[in-house]
Structure 1
Amino acid sequence: MDGIPPGHGHRRVGSRHRGGERRTPRDAARRGRKTRRSPGTDRHRFLLLRSAPLTTLVMFDDERADGWAPFALTRPCGELVFGRWTLRERLERVARTRVAGHVTRPWLRRYAEPGAPRCLDADGLSAPCTAWNARAVPSLDAAWDDAPANLWVAGRLAGVRLGADAGPPRAKWFAAPRPRPGLPDRDVPGVWLGQPWDLVSAGPDRRAADLAAAPGPAPELPDGCWRLGNAPIRFGEGAQVEPGVLFDAREGPIELGPGVEVRAGTRLGGPLYAGAGSRLLGGHISSFSGGPRCRVRGEIDRVTMLGYSNKAHHGFLGHAYLGRWVNLGAATVNSDLKHTYGSIRVGPPGRRRDTGLVKFGCLIGDHVKTGLGTRLETGTVVGAGSSLFGAEPPPRWVEPFSWGDGRDPEPHRRGDFLSTAARVVERRGLEGTPEFRDWLGDMWDEARRP
């Protein structure tokens, strides 16, 4: 696939006041034969678009989303997976129209990822438009129309829908949105994501609900495979499952996307979604969401992986969220539970925050690499573009674009990082376009800015 054309830059002035709170309330009979597609799977995947939407739909990151390390450095928060879909794809299903773009951090002006919309100039929007906060997660059954309104989720302002005669929102508004005077209030059922670790703690339940909502009956399992439980199991077109795979659907549905391969000796536990072209290579993989084209093996529990990431070797990975283009070396493992069974704190030294979670593993940014036998401690956050190796565990907070072993890695040189990233992308048959390199270079510059 070709990269998305580079988006336009935007400026945003960060306002520090608080606002936007409302004060009143998815049949291989033999090895190698492709599975049959589940009836209804296409309907599940297909977005029913309105032929002529009356308003432009944009997503924005507010001031809190700007602090969502390690992912805010490299992507709009709407391009993070929560449940079965990205936050943007979920909004598109609810609104039945495409998101035109993201209003987000200035250094992402050249964000260029296949399938994702560009980033927009916050001061260049025009009405009619609907602006929606990426941290607000609407229910799939939420009603949606084009009538102007202030849009509220769980008592907090989630967005605004403006008519043709209204002035569009400007940069300051996106940082700390406030209701538009004179517009009626409209409640939209849904929930909020407060912190990036909410993607880990709330992800499995959301994934189960999303997969359960898929229409159509489950297919017959391939010969030599077994199932436990009654939740739906679905296969996308061209999915291949070898004999000797156990589908455990007692805790939730299982969906294999188009072209997914599952090797013999794999136990799949729902709720689980494997995106197009992913390869599940063995081990016990449960409560997982990943893809497209991820490679997964080992003991995997409550893990989300964005596209093109690899954990292709044995070892434990639990309660974790991985960005795109991550590669975990052989025998890389993480911890997700403290010896004291106490609440896990996350953040840089001197500014750690209590997650309130007893089980939480790690957040790993885009383009991170780990070497042989890397051990990640409980609550580790690894910044984008880092390359970690060595016998000693890395620190629990790794700054973006770090390189080396032990507790004090060095900066990852800009040219070395860009060359490696381009080689990795090209190995998967994609093109490391100039736009792609420019986007990554902007990220490096921002992270290493004095």
Structure 2
Amino acid sequence: MTALFLFDDSQADGWAPFSLTRPCGELLHGRWTLRERLERLAGTRLAGHVTRPWLSRFVEAGAPPALDPGGLDGLDGLPDACSYWSSRAVPALDAAWDPAPANLWVRGRLAGVNLAAGAPPPRPDWFAAPDPVPGLADRAVPGDWLHHPWDLVSAGPSRLAADLAATSATGVQELPGGCWQLGEAPIRFGEDVRVEPGVLFDTREGPIELGARVEIATGTRLAGPLYAGPHSRLLGGAISRFSGGPFSFVCGEVDSVTVLGYSNKPHDGFLGHAYLGRWVNLGAMTTNSDLKHTYGSIRVGPPDARTDTRLVKFGCLLGDHVKTGIGTRLDTGTIIGAGSSLFGADMPPKWVEPFSWGGGRTLERVRRADFIATAVRVAARRGVEAGSRFRDWLGDIWNEAGGP
């Protein structure tokens, strides 16, 4: 048996706004998280994420532990051999996984390494900037790379289409009475899916998959590729090129959006070319722009360090536990840090630091105790137990973000 690890390198460490709160392997890309994709390929569960030290108490259902790069020597019960794979490398679904010792390459870049029995783990600084291990064979693995967090947005729909085409059952699911289908791509329902009459399934551009106990309301137009995770609710409007984790509640006009899960957009408003973390709540009529008036490429980041995404269409990245008030408007290329709560008539800045609170450009720091108390209440509403480890993890990320 081989122990399987995902690691975040120095580039993944800077994936704002998500890298503050979670290992990057726990981000949804297409039909699965990056972790789930690697597990499917390797045929084994991940033993852990090698990631940032302040995430040592990260806790989420189904996720393995988060490990400090300097603490691998002290792990007990590891098998003789270990595989380490970059969270930014996306292996092809049809790649052949071979655990034999080797340096693993994706498109000419080192993506990971398989180490034999008795070999020590890589040195702690190796994970930040991995280099080939001398004496090992080189093996190419088909796949792609994610270079920036907004790649999750730009590459999301095509990744989702490929994933669903490779896994969806052939043929067409029998639709409930009063519903219609355009196109011939497959539709697949999980157990106990509830679809009200008056729902249109448009599969001309890709398959549609609904997880267990998903609910679809009358007046919803679903356009593939589309995946809604277990217990999600699609509550009306035009929803296209969408991938949502469990308990994603969505309504309105939604296009090319990924929702990590346990998040709410239950009211009208446009959301386009965007990525939402977990535990996000968007107030009624929250709307984002995803196209500049000039049709030029979109720049993102702090005012003194803007980066050109080279994307003409890009809306926003919202970190975990972000909240917006009714009528909130988000400019093109907005990035909102985790734990922020925004409201008021004025548009917030395009770069919002974590744990910001307020309206427009008058933002204060969310108090630690208030943030944790709100997060615990929100988790309870979805039946998630917010025990001491959950609260400690929230406190750790608040501390790491700094500020008064």
Assess same fold via TM > 0.5: yes
Query: Larger relative contact order (C-alpha < 8 A, sep ≥ 6)?
Result: 1
1:69 matched to 2:16: yes
Whichever residue aligns with residue 59 of structure 1, its letter is: L
Q: Is the CA contact 1:277–1:291 (under 8 Å) kept in the aligned structure 2?
A: no
2:248 aligned residue? 294
CA distance in 2, matches of 1:121, 1:350: 31
Secondary structure of the structure 1 residue equivalent to 2:72: coil
1:103 matched to 2:62: no
Q: Is the CA contact 1:59–1:78 (under 8 Å) kept in the aligned structure 2?
A: yes
Secondary structure of the structure 2 residue equivalent to 1:420: helix
1:145 matched to 2:98: yes
1:411 aligned residue? 365
Moved more, 405-414 or 276-285: 405-414
CA distance in 1, matches of 2:128, 2:403: 22
1:210-243 C-alpha deviation (Å, 9 max, x unpaired)? 0001152332111110000111111001101011
Secondary structure of the structure 2 residue equivalent to 1:306: strand
Aligned pairs, number: 397
CA distance in 1, matches of 2:277, 2:195: 26
User: How far did residue 56 of structure 1 move?
Assistant: 0.5
2:202 aligned residue? 248
CA distance in 1, matches of 2:313, 2:178: 35
1:350 matched to 2:304: yes
Q: Post-superposition, which runs of at least 4 consecutive aligned residues in structure 1 deviate over 4 A?
A: none
2:163 aligned residue? 210
Q: 1:395-406 counterparts in 2 under 5 A?
A: 395-406=349-360
1:11 aligned residue? none
CA distance in 2, matches of 1:146, 1:66: 26
Secondary structure of the structure 1 residue equivalent to 2:252: strand
1:329 aligned residue? 283
Please report the TM-score for the alignment, with normalisation by the length of structure 2. Answer: 0.97
2:295 aligned residue? 341
Please report the TM-score for the alignment, with normalisation by the length of structure 1. Answer: 0.87
2:378 aligned residue? 424
1:377-400 C-alpha deviation (Å, 9 max, x unpaired)? 000000000000000010000000
1:369 matched to 2:323: yes
Whichever residue aligns with residue 142 of structure 1, its letter is: A
Q: Is the CA contact 1:130–1:161 (under 8 Å) kept in the aligned structure 2?
A: yes
User: How far did residue 128 of structure 1 move?
Assistant: 1.5
Q: Which structure 1 residue ranges, 5 or more long, are not aligned?
A: 1-53
1:20-44 C-alpha deviation (Å, 9 max, x unpaired)? xxxxxxxxxxxxxxxxxxxxxxxxx
1:76-96 C-alpha deviation (Å, 9 max, x unpaired)? 000000000000000001111
Secondary structure of the structure 1 residue equivalent to 2:47: strand
User: How far did residue 155 of structure 1 move?
Assistant: 0.2
Q: Which structure 2 residue ranges, 5 or more long, are not aligned?
A: 74-79
Q: Is the CA contact 2:344–2:360 (under 8 Å) kept in the aligned structure 1?
A: yes
Whichever residue aligns with residue 79 of structure 1, its letter is: E
Q: Is the CA contact 1:336–1:362 (under 8 Å) kept in the aligned structure 2?
A: yes
Q: 2:313 aligns with which of 355, 359, 376?
A: 359
Q: Is the CA contact 2:53–2:67 (under 8 Å) kept in the aligned structure 1?
A: no
1:332-390 C-alpha deviation (Å, 9 max, x unpaired)? 00000000000000000110000000010000000000001000000000000000000
CA distance in 2, matches of 1:61, 1:291: 22
CA distance in 2, matches of 1:162, 1:309: 39
